[in-house]
A and B are shown apart, each in its own frame.
Chain A
Amino acid sequence: DGGITQSPKYLFRKEGQNVTLSCEQNLNHDAMYWYRQDPGQGLRLIYYSQIVNDFQKGDIAEGYSVSREKKESFPLTVTSAQKNPTAFYLCASSSLQGTYEQYFGPGTRLTVT
């Protein structure tokens, strides 16, 4: 099955700890994205990457870091510097040809206490 996988579905951490969220895709897409969603709100872009070993900040990058060592993988680290890390995190990917529609993973719900 082609698609995007995110793990785990639910994640709990103590305040002050860094945590890394996994995102893998087997769609052969060049571009990958991380979004954050808070209750009752739309999605906000954290980081995106269009090619291996390169990535750009989105609208709310502070307190987050990413890497893109492989085309298939785009992990997101939520650092202790992120003031309000509890949220629903969504990963997406898209081709950079055609009409660029994005395909989303199932999401990871992170709770920090």
Chain B
Amino acid sequence: DAKTTQPPSMDCAEGRAANLPCNHSTISGNEYVYWYRQIHSQGPQYIIHGLKNNETNEMASLIITEDRKSSTLILPHATLRDTAVYYCIVRSTGANSKLTFGKGITLSVRP
């Protein structure tokens, strides 16, 4: 599975949009982009995934560039409870494909 690169940390103000970037320049055609987040001392939580079209659900939006080499997770109105480590993962959806977690990006939402 392709590798991803994320900055180590970022912050944003409560109520503002948080835009979390991810680079995945070696992504191949059958690989999806997944986002998970992990609040301190809890298990990771699935957020969203996409292949090439932009996706939106009740938690977030995922914007994937046309060449699919990068993506951005958008939390439209960040709250203090969104403070967490966010993992961007690239994987195929075959049954034997595994999630490979890097260090992620630590998002700090400030009051």
Contacts and interface: CB of A to CB of B under 8 A. Distances in A.
Interface residues of B, number: 21
Contacts of B96: 50
Interface string A29-49: 001000100001111110010
Contacts, number: 50
A55 to B, nearest CB: 13
Given A42-B102, A50-B95, A99 B43 contact: no
B21 interface: no
A89 B95 CA distance: 23
A92 B103 CA distance: 18
A100 B93 contact: yes
A42 B49 contact: no
B43 A106 contact: yes
A43 B41 CA distance: 12
Interface in B62-103: 87, 93, 95-103
A99 B42 contact: no
